[in-house]
Amino acid sequence: MSGTKGPADLEREVLKEKLCTACGACVGLCPYFSTVQGRVVMTDSCNLPQGRCHAFCPRTKADMRKLRSVFFKEGQFIPELGSFLGLSMTRASDENIRAGSQHGGSVTALVELAMKEGVIDSAVLTRSDHGLDPSGLFVSRPEDVRQCLGSSFQIPPGLEILNRTLKENRYRKIGVVGTPCKTLAVYKMQNRQFEDDPQQPSRIGMVFGLFCGWGIDWQGLERMVKSKASLERVKHIDIPPSQYGIMEVETADGRIEIPLEEIYPIIRYSCRFCADMTAEFADLSIGGARSSAGWDFDRGWNQIIVRTKRGKELLDLARDRGVLEFREAAPANLDKLKKASSNKKKKAIQAIIEKTGDVNNLLYLDPFDPSLENLLPEMK
């Protein structure tokens, strides 16, 4: 593990700087890191000079050009979006999946199909209580995938589950679903050799990335929702396109609208420094549809960026099997997505420079990362 720093460096560079995304990539590797209500904490000091915890963290520095060149060799590269083989609008054909999903249910349908067809033999997913109190979940049967219908704006440290599963040395093609910070961590895992199991990185079968603007503070969201409704009555939480300016909370008693002005103060601090909206490290990246046709047209549909050959093969299989319904993605959809992604990158760069007070100190960002092309200020 030459060149890797250790746990004390991770604590100093990430935890104390409040950059931790609570992805869980450092948890389950050793006894020094643990999770508490969506937060990662270091429970004791550790002076090991090198550690996987530091190597895997999505908020430690890495050579992003090299990482991209290892895993993304087909198709074109779009600076705003990363590796790009195509864009589709889809939704699950199964109405039961759609009924319980955040948007179109494409993630659930694709993971279920991948397991049935042997593309993956298991999956690390996220389960929540109608959008609250989420937790990582490991499944090894297709029929268990639907336990994870829907999503949450609280982001649990689900990669702890992946680390523990890899230690078992039982499954060979593990699927992972996660937000951009989690999927980057998974690719950093795959790019390193473990001394105890040189084949371990290859046991990741497929990565499904989730579009993410930001996550919300764990306790903050619960307090916010609890001030508006009984938590036991909540059925669904969603945020429509930004022009609506609201968070929707569906309850057993009706719908509640919370102005985003009340949500912005409880956005996770670390999310301000994230420059990836579309989960650029994934085989398939999936989010709610946002097109020029408007929310009435897009509601209940997903948009999927295809990034790798195996991602394309699974999406083609979903079409052939009738697992997904497809709509043509208009050219304007791609332009809209590029603009939104670019805006997030710009905001992250600005926030980092405001934090460090130095245009030459971009914290974990790689100034040579092609995804930041023409966005970085001139270095002095």
Question: Residue 303 in contact with residue 333, Cβ under 8 Å?
Answer: yes
Could you count the other beta carbons within 10 Å of the beta carbon of residue 361? 11
- Residue 151 has a pLDDT of 86
Pairing of strands 39-42, 284-288: unpaired
For residues 46-70, average pLDDT = 92
- Residue 10 has a pLDDT of 95
pLDDT greater than 80 at residue 100: yes
At residue 258, the 3 state secondary structure works out as strand
- Residue 200 has a pLDDT of 66
Domain ranges of the chain: 7-215+268-372, 218-266
Q: How confident is the model at residue 2 (pLDDT cuts 50, 70, 90)?
A: very low
- Residue 194 has a pLDDT of 55
Segment among 9-18, 103-112, 262-271, 285-294 with least mean pLDDT: 285-294
Percent of the chain with pLDDT over 70: 96
Architecture of the domain delimited by 218-266: Roll (3.10)
Q: What is the CA radius of gyration of the chain?
A: 20
pLDDT greater than 90 at residue 66: yes
pLDDT greater than 70 at residue 195: no
For 118, left (φ over 0), alpha (ψ -120 to 50), or beta?
Answer: left
Task: Extract the tokens encoding 21.
Answer: 């995304």
- Residue 256 has a pLDDT of 95
User: How many Cα atoms within 13 Å fall on the side-chain side of residue 266?
Assistant: 19
**What does the pLDDT look like over 253-273, one tens digit per residue?**
999 999 999 999 999 999 999
User: How many Cα atoms within 13 Å fall on the side-chain side of residue 136?
Assistant: 28
238, burial (CB in 10 Å: exposed 0-12, middle 13-18, buried 19+): middle
Give the helix/strand (H/E) hosting 163.
Answer: helix 159-168
Task: Extract the tokens encoding 84.
Answer: 């790009």
**What does the pLDDT look like over 132-174, one tens digit per residue?**
989 999 999 999 999 999 889 998 899 999 999 988 889 999 9
pLDDT greater than 80 at residue 345: yes
C-alpha 154/C-alpha 151 separation (Å) is 9
